[in-house]
Amino acid sequence: MKYFIILFTAFSFLCPSILAGSFDDAVGARSSALGNHTSAISDVFSVSNNQAGIGFLKKYTFGISAKNKFLVKELSLMDAAAVLPTKTGVFGLGVHYSGTSLFSESKIGIAFAKSFGDRFSFGLQFDYLNFRISEYGSKNLFTFEAGVQYFLVPEKLLAGAHINNPLRLTLDEETDEKLPTVMRFGLNYSPSKKVSVLAEVEKDLDYAPVFKAGVEYRVVEKLALRGGFNANPFQAAFGIGLYLKNLTIDAASLFHPQLGVSPHLSLTYAFARKQ
């Protein structure tokens, strides 16, 4: 525990925007591999990343994601997501857990997204957050997040924006412990079906902006190679994606020059809606 607190403090001090609460981490190894890009991607983990992204999904999709930061046991993040497209819109469910029995953060989010035509989608999520420190107690909190995605050029250029905790809710008024308010804006340019180039800027209310860029290349139908980085602080990323029939396996690694490696693995299972 002591070790953890020291580490936590050190990390928070060294690279605040990397560890500004586990809720803001990119979910899904694809996002991680693209330099933590979350705003202009549309996959099952958009449930947690940018809810507007699920608005474009047409299949029932489930996904799980596991990430470990800097190979520190206490900094493990686990997520599960489900997407249920219906006639009225797309519903999503996201569950998050990070930490250990000594300290943990968890979240349940219910999302709804609706696309208007093929070009625009809007998404909203209500979150129920829980913070628990062993022997100190726990705290619960409601908040919400929202996002949009729209194609500036159909099928070629997707723009996305997302805001987390717009009402600037705090965890503890007394100690002024904040729940981060983060906004992201990103572009996803795909000149062809094989290539995507992504860029994103992220601004946490209390920290300097983070710039991100990534490239995804579908070498063959079943394999995608990805690479990206964060600037400010610098972190390099790369990963692969295996596209099997209904199953997608994504793996990624992030490298921080001082803190080291963060591996990330996720699985996605999708099947078509019964007609």
In the complex with other proteins, the residue whose CB is nearer, 3 or 13, is: 13
Nearer to other proteins, 114 or 218 (CB): 218
Contact segment (CB under 8 A) with other proteins among 43-51, 61-69, 176-184, 189-197 equals 189-197
Residue type present at position 230: N
Applying CB under 8 A, the span of 77-85, 129-137, 228-236, 263-271 interacting with other proteins comes to: 228-236
Q: Least CB distance from residue 110 to other proteins, whole Å? A: 38
Closer Cβ to other proteins, 108 or 197, answer by number: 197
DSSP the chain: -HHHHHHHHHHHHH-GGGSS-GGGSPPSHHHHHTTS--TT--STTHHHH-GGGGGG--SEEEEEEEEESTT-GGGEEEEEEEEEE-SS-EEEEEEEEEE-SSEEEEEEEEEEEEEETTTEEEEEEEEEEEEEETTTEEEEEEEEEEEEEEEEETTTEEEEEEEE-TT--EEETTTTEEPP-EEEEEEEEEEETTEEEEEEEEEETTS--EEEEEEEEEEETTEEEEEEEEETTTEEEEEEEEE-SSEEEEEEEEEETTTEEEEEEEEEEEEPPP-
Contact status: 240 vs other proteins (CB under 8 A)? no
**From the list 10, 217, 260, 273, which residue makes contact with other proteins (rule: CB under 8 A)?**
217
Query: In this chain, which stretch among 75-83, 176-184, 185-193, 263-271 interacts with other proteins, using CB under 8 A?
Result: 185-193
φ, ψ for residue 156, nearest 5 deg = -115, -45
Interface pattern 144-183 for other proteins (x via CB under 8 A) = ----------------------------------------
Single out the residue of 18, 160, 229, 248 in contact with other proteins (rule: CB under 8 A): 229
Residue 185 interacts with other proteins (CB under 8 A): yes or no: no
Of 8 and 255, nearer to other proteins (C-beta) is 255
Please, which residue, 127 or 202, has the CB nearer to other proteins? Answer: 202
Among 29, 24, 25, which Cα is nearest to 226's?
29
Q: CB-wise, 233 or 263, nearer to other proteins?
A: 233
- Using CB under 8 A as the binding rule, whether residue 6 contacts other proteins is answered as no
Q: How far is CA 117 from the centre of its chain?
A: 25
Q: How far is the CB of 215 from other proteins (least distance, A)?
A: 6
Residue ranges binding other proteins (CB under 8 A): 189, 191-192, 194-195, 197, 213, 215, 217, 227, 229, 231, 234, 236, 257
